[in-house]
């Protein structure tokens, strides 16, 4: 799973709006210490949704131009609890430093000066991964980074 996700630079973020309808957007993300991070503006709908309801999903999908079969694109869907990381915290500085290393440092520096941008941490609670026909898995383990094969005996999420 890590090998697949590390080749994708943005995550599709699924949230619930104020009317309880799903809303999807995207953001560059960072993975560090078993957590995912996004740095987004409060003006963005997905930021408002996360502030109202911290349950969200992160979705990673294989590039259409690189897939062999559009019906079997590789994908990972993670159900998460999110929280805002305070600007005054050491974690905020550390993660923004990692964002600057991974992405355009000048852009990260510019965004850091914009006080409407906030850092959100996503902790995976469960997930699913599909890497082709017959290659479907749950995501489990202590750090939610292990693949558990889906079978007729365990067809639903919640495997830990």
pTM greater than 0.85:
yes
The span from the CA of 22 to the CA of 79, in Å, is 13
- Please indicate, yes or no, if residue 154 is contained in any of the structural domains: no
User: 49: part of which helix (H) or strand (E)?
Assistant: helix 45-52
Can you give the pLDDT at residue 77?
96
**SS3 (DSSP) at 61:** strand
- Please indicate, yes or no, if residue 47 is contained in any of the structural domains: yes
The span from the CA of 47 to the CA of 45, in Å, is 5
- Please indicate, yes or no, if residue 131 is contained in any of the structural domains: yes
Q: Who has greater pLDDT, 142 or 50?
A: 50
Structurally, the chain folds into a number of domains equal to 1
User: 155: part of which helix (H) or strand (E)?
Assistant: none
DSSP state letter for 134: T
- Please indicate, yes or no, if residue 67 is contained in any of the structural domains: yes
CATH of the domain at 117: 2.30.110.10
Q: How does pLDDT run across 62-98, given as a tens digit for each residue? A: 999 999 899 999 999 999 999 999 999 999 999 999 9
Q: How does pLDDT run across 11-26, given as a tens digit for each residue? A: 999 999 999 999 999 9
Q: How does pLDDT run across 92-129, given as a tens digit for each residue? A: 999 999 999 999 999 999 999 999 999 999 999 999 99
CA 60: distance to chain centroid?
8
The span from the CA of 98 to the CA of 105, in Å, is 9
> For residue 60, what are the domain limits?
2-149
- Please indicate, yes or no, if residue 97 is contained in any of the structural domains: yes
- Please indicate, yes or no, if residue 157 is contained in any of the structural domains: no
- Please indicate, yes or no, if residue 159 is contained in any of the structural domains: no
- Please indicate, yes or no, if residue 40 is contained in any of the structural domains: yes
Can you give the pLDDT at residue 3?
84
pLDDT mean over 138-148: 85
The span from the CA of 55 to the CA of 49, in Å, is 9
Can you give the pLDDT at residue 160?
47
């Amino acid at each position: 799973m890590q090998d697949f996700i590390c080749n994708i630079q943005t995550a599709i973020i699924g949230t619930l709006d104020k009317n309880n309808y799903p809303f999807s957007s995207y953001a560059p993300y960072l993975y560090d210490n078993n957590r995912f991070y996004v740095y987004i503006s409060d003006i963005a709908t997905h930021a408002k949704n996360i502030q109202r309801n911290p349950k969200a999903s992160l979705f990673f999908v294989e590039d259409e131009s690189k897939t062999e079969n559009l019906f079997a694109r590789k994908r990972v869907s993670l159900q998460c609890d999110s929280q805002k990381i305070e600007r005054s915290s050491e974690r905020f500085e550390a993660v923004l430093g990692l964002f600057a290393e991974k992405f355009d440092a000048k852009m990260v520096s510019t965004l850091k000066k914009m006080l409407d941008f906030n850092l959100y941490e996503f902790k995976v609670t469960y997930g699913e991964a599909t890497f082709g026909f017959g290659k479907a898995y749950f995501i489990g383990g202590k750090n939610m980074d292990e693949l558990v094969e889906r079978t007729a005996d365990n067809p639903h999420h919640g495997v830990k």
